[in-house]
Each structure stands twice: as structure tokens, then as C-alpha cells.
Amino acid sequence: MTKNSPLQLLSTFFISSFIFSIVFLYADSVRAQEFVAPAPVVVDEVDAEYVTEERNTPAAPVITSDTFLDQNTWYATTTGTFFWDLGSDEVTALALSVSALSTDEPATRYPSLVEEVLLDGDTLKEGTQYLHIQFKSESEWGAVAHRMIRIDLTAPKNVEVGARHDQENGIALIPEAEDELSGIAHYTISIDGGVPQKLSPVEAKRGYEVGFLNPGSHTVEVMAVDKAGNSTKTSMPLVVVGASTMPISESTMPSLWVLFTFPGIFILLLLCLIFALVASIKSEREALKTKEAQLRKETKEVQDQIEKIFSALRTEIHTQMQSLTKRPRLTKNQQAVVVGLESALAVSETLIEKEIIDVQEILK
């Protein structure tokens, strides 16, 4: 028996591995050709409807309205009629409710099968809300339809007009307003009763160029309209002092001109208010001086009357005391009374004089 050399063994190993690889790849390709994937099961719309009919589950109704035509549009009313189709006779009941959440389910079962409902201000409020409707068959409730309703009854507020001026384009008016619910849809602006020009919010931010106005007073009318159709109109003066209707070239000296808009008018009103307050304070001081003079006069009269009354009282008391002291004999109690009256009279006179002096010092 001959002994194989290492080189022969190595060659035999490589040849066997190569043959085995070829056989394995061939067998795998044959299996791949023989395997056929099963066709996917496709359920078309007819099958889906058939399954729904088998389960007897009503579909979500389609809700329309002759007032709230588009559920993405804002409306300035809280009254509208909504319609839907009951479809087949399989619908045995319906539920209906209005809420602020789009995912709510109807909480109230309607007393009868109807295909329309009138909603008013008792149910519909300002803001975004949803009408929910659900049908029921004999066995179970179906899908819920959600109809968005957007209501804005409040007109825009804080309508203002700013102004910008440059030497090339003249004056540009910038209308502004606030609307919390639906937002501003557009502005209209006119000068001195001219044809109103419509501006979108983007155009309004850029400014409405009116060119170079003649010096003098002009009237600007602005109306802000929100997306529900509510509007607020205001007018304001625009004063142009100096300037001309033509652009000023860089080589010439610029003319002195002043453009008063809301900031200037606000400052003017503030100055008028300050002047009115100063005048009011001055008037109150004059009135206070008059009252002080009257009070001094009254105090002097009171002082004179008190002195007269106290003098008469003092004279009467002295007379009574003298009549007592002329008696031949006085009891101890009578002597004590005389001494007490004299002391009380002196103290009272001192106190009254002190109070009168204090009042006079205050009124100085």
C-alpha cells in the first residue's frame, strides 16, 4: 500500500470541495424554480361592503349644511340646519351631540329617526366645535361622523394705521388690527373719500404706498375684516406739513415736514390731558384757598363768640362767688365749692385759649 503524499491529499480536498459546491448550488436553483408563492388574497370594495352588511354595522353618515357649507370656513352665525341620509331601513336609532373635541362620541340618543336638525345659539357657541352623529342597527352602533363647525361673532379690534415715509416712494400706510378667533382676512383703506383699496395681511405689513400727499389735513379710512366677515371701520386724520408732491433729489436741501399719525396724535392727546390735569389742580387749589379764608373767618367769629360767652359766664360765676363770700359764715363745703369754681374757671379759660391758638396756627 502506497502512502499518499501531503500534496496529493491537499489536491484531493480542494477538488472534492469544488464538486460539492457545484452540486449544492444546482440543487438550490432547482428548488427555487419549483416553488410558486401563493397569490395574495385581495379584498376589494365589494367584499368590504359585503362584510359590513354581514355584520350589519351602519357606516358613518355624511353631514351637510345649507348655512355652514364648508367645515373649514368661519361663519358669523350660531344658527344653521344640518342634513344627512339615513340610507337603508336597517338604521333603527341615531345619537347626536355637539362638543369641543373632534374624537368625542354622541352622548345623547335622539328621540326619533330624522334626517336634519336645526342648531341655534343654545347649542352652538363661538369658537371651534364638532357635531357628532352615529347610526345604530338592530345589533350594534356604527361609525361616528364628526362635522367641524367654526363660529366667530366678534369683530376685529384695535384697528390702527401706522405710516412710513421715504424720499423715493413717499408715504406708505400700514394698517393693523387684532382678531383672536378667525384672524384677519383683509383690509380696505382709502384717503379723502377715494376708492377703497383691498389689502391682504401680507400686503398690509409691506405697507400701502400713497405717494406724496399735498401739505394739509387728510382723512384716512380703514376697515379690518376677519375670516368670518365681521368688520370694524375707523377713520383718523393724517396731517402733512411742508413737503411736496414730488420726490426730493439728493442734491437739494430736504424740506422740513412733519407727518402726524397715531403716535403723534397720542402724544398730542397726552399733552392735552396733562394740561387739563394742571388746570384742574389749580382750580382745586383756588377753591381750597377760598374755603380756608372762609374757615379763618368762621374761626375768628367762633373765637369772638366763645370769648363773649366765657366772659359772661365768668362774670356770673364771680358774682355768685362774691355773694357767697359776703356771708358771715361759710361751711367747709361752701368754701370748697368756691375754690373749685375758681380753679375750674381758670383751667377752662386756659384750655379754650390754647385750642383757639392751635387752630390759628394751622390756618396760617
The predicted pLDDT at position 319 comes to: 75
Q: How far apart are CA 107 and CA 130, in angstroms?
A: 13
Task: Answer yes or no: do 307 and 350 share one domain.
Answer: yes
Task: Answer yes or no: do 168 and 82 share one domain.
Answer: no
Domain end call among 260, 291, 324: 260
Q: Is residue 290 part of a domain?
A: yes
Q: Is residue 6 part of a domain?
A: no
Domain end call among 136, 151, 166: 151
Domain end call among 151, 182, 201: 151
pLDDT tens per residue, the chain (364 residues)? 444 555 565 566 656 665 656 655 555 554 445 434 344 433 333 333 333 344 568 999 999 999 999 999 999 999 999 999 998 778 999 999 999 999 999 988 999 999 999 999 999 999 999 999 999 998 899 999 999 999 999 999 999 998 888 777 788 899 999 999 999 999 999 999 889 999 999 999 998 888 888 888 889 999 999 999 999 999 988 888 765 433 333 333 333 344 456 666 778 788 888 989 899 898 888 888 888 888 878 877 777 777 777 777 777 777 776 676 666 666 777 667 777 777 777 777 787 777 777 776 776 6
Q: Is residue 29 part of a domain?
A: no
Expressed as residue numbers, the domain containing 114 is 47-151
Q: Give yes or no for a contact between 143 and 164, defined as CB atoms under 8 angstroms apart.
A: no
Q: Is residue 197 part of a domain?
A: yes
Task: Answer yes or no: do 236 and 328 share one domain.
Answer: no
The predicted pLDDT at position 188 comes to: 95
Q: How far apart are CA 136 and CA 134, in angstroms?
A: 7
Torsion of the alpha carbons at 260, 264, 269 and 271, rounded to the nearest 10 = -120
Task: Answer yes or no: do 202 and 287 share one domain.
Answer: no
CATH number for 211: 2.60.40.10
Task: Answer yes or no: do 117 and 171 share one domain.
Answer: no
The predicted pLDDT at position 198 comes to: 94
Q: Is residue 219 part of a domain?
A: yes
Q: How far apart are CA 147 and CA 182, in angstroms?
A: 18
Contacts of 110 (CB under 8 A, 6+ apart): 93, 94, 95, 96, 117
Q: Is residue 133 part of a domain?
A: yes
The predicted pLDDT at position 260 comes to: 53
Torsion 330-334-336-340 (CA) sign: negative
Neighbours of 261 (CB within 10 A): 21
- pTM of structure: 0.51
Residue 48 is classified by DSSP as: H
Task: Answer yes or no: do 333 and 351 share one domain.
Answer: yes
Contacts of 292 (CB under 8 A, 6+ apart): 363
Q: How far apart are CA 166 and CA 53, in angstroms?
A: 73
Q: Is residue 135 part of a domain?
A: yes
Task: Answer yes or no: do 245 and 210 share one domain.
Answer: yes
Task: Answer yes or no: do 254 and 165 share one domain.
Answer: yes
Task: Answer yes or no: do 299 and 346 share one domain.
Answer: yes
Task: Answer yes or no: do 277 and 327 share one domain.
Answer: yes
Q: Is residue 25 part of a domain?
A: no
Strand order across the 64-65 sheet: 64-65, 80-83, 116-119
Task: Answer yes or no: do 70 and 108 share one domain.
Answer: yes
Domain total in the chain? 3
Task: Answer yes or no: do 163 and 256 share one domain.
Answer: yes
